[in-house]
Structure 1
Amino acid sequence: MVGTAPSPAFAFAEVRTVTITNVPDIFGEWYLAVVKFAAGTPRPIQTFMEHFTELAIVLLAGLLALVWWHARRKADRTMALTLLGGVGVVVSYALSEWAKTYLEAERPCRTFADVVIIANECPPTGDWSFPSNHSTIAGALAAAILLASWRVGLPAVPIGAAAAFSRVFVGVHYPHDVAAGFLLGAFTVLVLTPSLVRPSTALVGRMRGRPLVGRLLTAGTPHDTTMSPAERR
Structure 2
Amino acid sequence: MAGLAETGSNPDVDLLYDINGLAKDAPRWFDRVVEVVGEYGLLAAMVLVVLCCWWGVRRRGGDDAAVSVAALVWAPLAAGIAVLVNIPIRGFVERPRPFLDHQGLEVLVSGKTDYSFVSDHATITMAMGVGLFVANRKFGLVGIGLALVEGFCRVYMGVHYPTDVVGGFALGTAVALLLSPPAMALLTPVTRAVEGSSWGRVLIRARGAGSEGAGSKASGAVVPGARGAETEERDLAA
Decide: shared fold, TM above 0.5.
Answer: yes
Aligned length: 208
* In structure 2, distance between residues paired with 1:51 and 1:102: 30
For 1:14-53, what aligned pairs fall within 5 Å after superposition?
Answer: 21-23=3-5, 25-53=10-38
In the TM superposition, residue 89 of structure 1 has moved relative to its aligned partner by 1.4
1: CA distance, partners of 2:56 / 2:30: 34
- Distance in 2, Cα, partners of 1:148 & 1:178: 24
- Confirm or deny that 1:121 pairs with 2:110: yes
Measure, in 2, the Cα distance between the counterparts of 1:231 and 1:132.
35
1:124-183 CA distance string (max 9 Å, x none): 2xx110000000011011112222121222222221101111000010000000110022
Change (3 A) 1:35 1:97: same
Q: Which residue of 2 aligns with 1:63?
A: 49
Task: Say what the alpha-carbon RMSD is for the aligned residues.
Answer: 2.5
* Secondary structure of 1:208's aligned partner: helix
Instruction: Return 5+ residue gaps in structure 1 as ranges.
Output: 1-19
CA displacement at 1:86 relative to structure 2: 2.1
> Equivalent residues in 2 for 1:135-154 (5 A)?
135-154=122-141
The residue number in structure 1 matching 2:147 is 160
Q: Could you tell me which amino acid in structure 2 is paired with residue 28 of structure 1?
A: V
Alignment partner of 1:227 is 2:214 = no
Runs (4 or more) in structure 1 with deviation over 6 Å come to 229-233
- TM-score normalised over the length of structure 2: 0.77
Normalised by the length of structure 1, the TM-score is 0.79
Does 2:66 correspond to 1:76? Answer: yes
CA–CA separation in structure 2 for the residues paired with 1:121 and 1:196: 37
Superposed CA offset, 1:87-140 (max 9, x none): 11111111123322332210001112x32314142512xx11000000001101
- Residue 90 of structure 1 is matched in structure 2 by 80
Q: 1:56 & 1:31 partners in 2: Cα distance?
A: 21
Contact preservation (8 Å) 2:194, 2:200: yes
Which structure 2 residue ranges, 5 or more long, are not aligned? 217-222, 224-238
Query: Would you say 1:169 and 2:156 are equivalent positions?
Result: yes
Is the Cα contact below 8 Å between 1:109 and 1:122 reproduced in 2?
no
Query: What's the counterpart of residue 187 of structure 2?
Result: 200
For 2:19 and 2:209, the matched residues in 1 are separated by 56
Q: Secondary structure at the match of 2:5?
A: coil
Contact 2:99 2:107 in 1 (8 A): no
Deviation at 1:215, TM superposition (A): 3.3
Q: Could you tell me how far 1:230 is from its partner in structure 2? A: 9.2
Q: Percent identity between the aligned chains?
A: 22
Cα separation, 2, equivalents of 1:229 and 1:206 = 18
Q: 3-state SS of the aligned residue for 1:128?
A: coil
Rounded Cα–Cα distance in structure 2 between residues aligned with 1:213 and 1:98: 37
After superposition, the Cα gap between the structure-2 partners of 1:116 and 1:194, relative to the gap in structure 1 and judged at 3 Å, is same
146-155 vs 172-181, greater mean Cα deviation: 146-155
